Structure 1
Amino acid sequence: MAALARKLDVIVFGATGFTGKYTVFEGVKILAGMKWGVAGRNKSKLESTLEEMGRKAGADLSHIPIVLADVDDQPSLVQMARECNVVVNCCGPYRLYGEQVIRACLEAGTHHVDVSGEPQFLEGMQLKYHDAAKEKGVYLISACGFDSIPAEMGTIFLEQQFGGVVNSVESYLFTKISGKRELGGIHYGTWASAVHAIANLKEVGAIRRELFKTKMPQLEPKLRNRPIIHKSSGNKWSLPFLGPDKSCVVRTQRFLYETENKRPVQMKNYISFGNLIEMLAVSFVGAIFWLLVKTTMGQNLLLNYPRLFSLGMVSHEGPSDEAMNNVHFTMHFEGRGWEEDLGNPNEKYSYPPNKVLRTRVSATNPGYGATCVALLLSAKTILREAERMPGRGGFLTPGAAFAKTNLISELCSNGFTFEVVSKAKL
């Protein structure tokens, strides 16, 4: 679907929120030369955001158009969507506020990207709106931030570099803080989204049974789970990672199998820690979180007292600029497979994988810097490279939408690093 002749290329909705503000900040560079605006329900707050982020970026943003729109006023959302080609939706938690914006974009024939990491929302919206989006030629692409661009495009990059057929990928996320550590490094909005996502995980099973009716091939050898606590190849303590990365990668692989007859890649993902004490502290917070989130009373406690139950890691103010820029992440990937391609995803190899490739993706400020960069580049890719994207629209994962585009190179030009670490025959 070609870009329509509309007033604006991009509108950042929810621009006064924490993620929205930094999306505006990154937009000064990434959206340079494009027509873009901001939207929300409070004009004075939007003006303040433009002034604040313009000052940080060393730019005058007083000319940026302001659009008033409210998630409780559906006609205002539709009107907002009609004024642009892509809505960049920063208004979460998406379980509470996301569907209204998606419906407005569908009605207006406008593309949509967001940074949701909530599996129930991601897969529920795909079930409800994928066919309608395809029919209207509209791309609805969620999880375009730290959840789950590094995992999605990292897996795509590994496959591109492999030179054969990948059977399985294991990823390990490691974050490092340089300089002084600061409490409150996670904004409350991120915490609230996690509460709503995990509280409603029980809905995901029913959604998946309805959504994924195509039988996938039985892949051998099967990728087994590592022990819950184990050492990674980098000798770091590691645990299973409970974010949406695996589910996004699996949905991408299913899409490519169904549309391109490509052999799916199996995926397991983990999170690594620099020392045992750090791992135990995070595990303790995670265990308390998991116990409380199962009841309404527990959810209210988590939402009302985030600093207490996160041991100070969560705050309504969010991290300072210095603290954000002191956080660096690396996601390590290990892919195993075969040099030879049998040409049929249902045909089984008579011998074990004979090749291993290790790659990594890294960047600074994963939660709010790299996330906003990835989000805006996803919107920009839709505008610039729609002809390289599959079909004519749909509710897609980032990997499915952007596998054949230049998104990886665009990410590398804007602070990300994608690189091959080693390769070997087995």
Structure 2
Amino acid sequence: MAAFSTSSSRPYHIIIFGASGFTGQFVVEEVARTASEGPKGSLKWAVAGRNRAKLEKVVEQAAGTLSKPELKSEVDILVADVSDLDSLAVMCKQAVIVLSCVGPYRFFGDPVVKSCVENGAHCIDISGEPQFLESMQLNYHDQAAGNGVYIVGSCGFDSIPADMGVIYTRDQFKGTLTAVESFLTASAGPEGGCIHDGTWQSAIYGLADSNKLRSLRKKFGHKPLPVVGPKIKRRGTLFYSNELQQYAIPFMGTDPSVVKRTQRYLTEELNESPVQYGAYVGVGGISNIFKLVFAGLMFFFFVKFSFGRNLLIKVKHTVSSCESYAIFNAKTLEGSSFRFIFLGEGYTEGSDPSEGKPNGKIRTLVKGPEVGYVATPIAMVQAALTMLNESDSLPNTGGVYTPGATFAKTTLIDRLNKHGIQFSLFPPEVQ
């Protein structure tokens, strides 16, 4: 198995690849902020990317923001590029874990995963792209398992709150949990929100390639997961949610696919009872619905054609653009937050899941700060620190895994609670 400790030939616990990218800058700050939580109270880390001058600026920015001038001399800088496989190999051979921040991952993620698998580095990314995540599992799981390498995708807002939220709800329920629905709301700060180019492109190309995702899934040859208790009822395309006191729609992101992959692993590998899952997001009142319908129809139309995709990418800057790290950091983080309500049902202890209707319910809550550039770095870095400190609690073999499959037996939730992503029972605890 690939090591979880440094050595003379592998000197860094963590290398942040893509550190000069928009999200990478926030990940750098979070690593610097939590370095004392590394193995034996210290963390050896470096930043990597294709432009040394930009990387130096990122480290300097972090040193100033955190009042840690020593970072400028302590943090090493490595030059590596996804188009230069030799440079990737050199980087991966020096890392215990590579934090991959090189989205859109459909364009830049594969070479990083491949190099990590071949060169003995574990890899964590923050992808919210199901096609990329599942193709990595299809293409590299067996090789990663053979090499003892752990590749863990979607370790950001997509999808640690949802995936670990279902795990938390299951663990808090006294009995057999059979189904969970999650309801997400997010609030922007006083200056409003924005979306970065990489995230916007991921959404555009993800929807455009939805047919390819269905074809990809057929290649796994998975059998349907067993259903314990009644089959979960899917809500409508648009409905009024009493849970949120506003209108809601099915969540279009990667959370449902990630949670389902986790439940498949827990069922097939650990022989645990699977939990059905439905994910929804609040959209507000009537006025917001009209805006959503119009924007949604336009978006769905344009992503089907190359000219439309190019147009969406070009016009984004006039709608909601993160043009500058400094401006974004100052204007949009304060006051932004997210909130997941999880509603679960199942059979209490002593009840037979094969007989009758579920007789127990539970509500839990996961909440935290701004989703993209505060919560995501926290989740990613705490996932890496958990791997470094609790390697004995990971799956028995390497492979390509979801967060829930990787961290179900670890203290990741406790670590997240200490850093502002809070998991708790939601009164009334059991109805």
Pick the TM interval, shorter chain: over 0.9
User: Corresponding residue for 1:72?
Assistant: 83
Counterparts in 2 of 1:23-422, with a 5 A limit? 23-32=27-36, 33-60=42-69, 61-63=71-73, 64-178=75-189, 180-182=190-192, 185-232=194-241, 233-308=243-318, 312-317=319-324, 319-340=328-349, 349-422=354-427
Q: Is 292-301 or 41-50 further displaced after alignment?
A: 292-301
Q: Look up the equivalent residue of 1:118 and give its one-letter code.
A: E
Match of 2:15 in 1: 11
- Whether the 8 Å contact between 1:134 and 1:391 is mirrored in structure 2 is no
TM-score by length of structure 1 reads 0.94
Quick check: 2:244–2:282 contact (8 Å CA) kept in 1? Answer: no
- The separation in 1 between residues aligned to 2:230 and 2:120, in whole angstroms, is 44
Query: What is the CA-CA distance between 1:379 and the residue it aligns to?
Result: 1.2
CA drift of 1:120 comes to: 0.5
Unaligned runs of 5+ in 1: none
* 1:46 shift after superposition: 0.4
One-letter amino acid matched to 1:18: F
Shift of the alpha carbon at 1:425?
A: 6.2
Task: State the distance in 1 between where 2:369 and 2:324 align.
Answer: 20
State the Cα RMSD in Å.
1.7
> Which secondary structure state, in structure 2, belongs to the residue aligned with residue 305 of structure 1?
helix
Paired residue secondary structure (1:186) = coil
How far did 1:423 drift?
Answer: 5.0
For residues 411 and 102 of structure 1, the distance between their equivalents in structure 2, rounded to whole angstroms, comes to 25
Distance of 2:316 and 2:84 partners within structure 1: 29
Describe the SS at the equivalent of 2:72.
Answer: coil
Q: 1:163 to 1:314 in 2, by over 3 A?
A: same
What is the one-letter code of the residue matched to 1:73? Answer: D
Going from structure 1 to structure 2, the CA distance change for 1:85 and 1:341 (only over 3 Å counts) comes to farther
TM-score by length of 2: 0.93
Q: Give CA-to-partner distance per residue, 1:288-333, whole Å, 9 cap, x none.
A: 222111111111111222135xxx2234436343312221110110
How far does residue 194 in structure 1 lie from its aligned partner after superposition?
A: 1.4
Counterpart contact for 2:15–2:97, Cα < 8 Å: yes
After alignment, is 377-386 or 281-290 more displaced? 281-290
Seen in structure 2, the aligned counterparts of structure 1 residues 331 and 149 have a Cα distance that, compared at 3 Å, is same
CA deviation string 1:45-97 (max 9, x = no partner): 10011111221111122120000000100010011011110000001110000
Q: CA deviation at 1:240?
A: 0.8
For residues 85 and 213 of structure 1, the distance between their equivalents in structure 2, rounded to whole angstroms, comes to: 32
Q: Which moved more, 1:159-168 or 1:298-307?
A: 298-307
User: Which residue among 19, 22, 27 is the counterpart of 2:26?
Assistant: 22
In the TM superposition, residue 277 of structure 1 has moved relative to its aligned partner by: 2.3
- Checking the alignment, whether the CA contact within 8 Å between 2:386 and 2:410 is kept in structure 1 is yes
User: Residue type of the partner of 1:205?
Assistant: R
Q: 1:113-167 deviations in whole A, cap 9, x for unaligned?
A: 0000111101111001111111100000000000001001111110110111111
Give me the whole-angstrom Cα distance separating, in 1, the residues matched to 2:191 and 2:377: 22
Q: Structure 2: how far apart are the matches of 1:9 and 1:164? A: 39
Q: Which runs of 5+ in 2 are unaligned?
A: 37-41
3-state SS of paired residue (1:260): coil
Equivalent pair of 1:93/1:196 in contact (CA under 8 Å): no
Identity value in percent: 38
- Contact 1:43–1:68 (CA<8 Å) still a contact in 2? yes
Counterparts of 2:277 and 2:61 in 1: how far apart (Å)? 41
Q: Which whole-Å CA distance do the structure 1 matches of 2:347 and 2:353 have between them? A: 11
Mapped to 2, the partners of 1:251 and 1:395 lie a distance apart of 11
Post-superposition offset of 1:217: 1.6
Q: Distance in 1 between matches of 2:350 and 2:153?
A: 32
